Amino acid sequence: MLIAGNWKMNTDVSSAIELARNIVESLNEHEEVSVAICPPAVNLADVARAIDGSSVYLGAQNMHFEDAGAYTGEVSADMLTAVGCRYVIIGHSERRQYFAETDESVNLKVRRAVDRDLVPIVCVGEHLGERQSGAAHNVVARQISRGLEDVDIDSGRSLVIAYEPVWAIGTGHTATPEQAQEMHEHIRGLLSDQFGADTAGSIEILYGGSMKPDNADELLSQPDVDGGLIGGASLRAESFISIIESAAASTG
């Protein structure tokens, strides 16, 4: 079980440090739940120091697929590992929507991340029109197939998938637990086809569609929901810790 907080373009240095420290101080450690926080890139080093010595992992929100070069404003996998990152979010719906990321660019980033011993949290999911037209399963199948093409992992712990029903992000809507489970089960089957059943069974599939303390219990109790990629609720230590506690309870 993994609970990862995506802080998006929020927090300055001082508030990022404070939030990270509050999470560490409030966290009741559960061996069965891994916790990661993904602050803005400019705050990574400071947050790394704030969580040093704790069980909280550091993650980044994006990376470039090249090791170095004339890519103004970008960061490489090696830069992220040097600052202490274990995870990196790749292909978030906002990156696809606002920065024209494609399944092909996602694939290049995933392959580079795995090669550099970063665990990619690969985001997939459909828009409202795609769900309403009945194309949701096909959209996600395409994103998995193209985004993970030629990806070579040595175990399921080397890769995380986050299912984002795009229509449920920041809209006030949330997929029902049954809808989440249906898509997570579909994703598990796609991963099994690609990596084999044993590996697919150990790949964590997170729900990333506005998980909050008041819906976390139901979502995390589903058999193929292995955690959450948390947006707004990760910006307050109290709500983030509440979701972690829900994750721990679901494994009990």
Report the catalytic residues: 92, 164
Structure tokens that stand for 242 in this block: 């509440």
Rounded CA separation 144/237 (Å): 32
Structure tokens that stand for 220 in this block: 């995390």
CB proximity list for 163: less than 8 A, separation 6 or greater: 123, 124, 125, 140, 180, 183, 184, 187, 205, 206, 207, 208, 209
Q: Dihedral sign, CA of 142, 199, 209, 233? A: negative
Q: How many CB atoms lie within 10 A of CB 251?
A: 13
Rounded CA separation 148/106 (Å): 8
CB contact at 8 A, 106 and 88: no
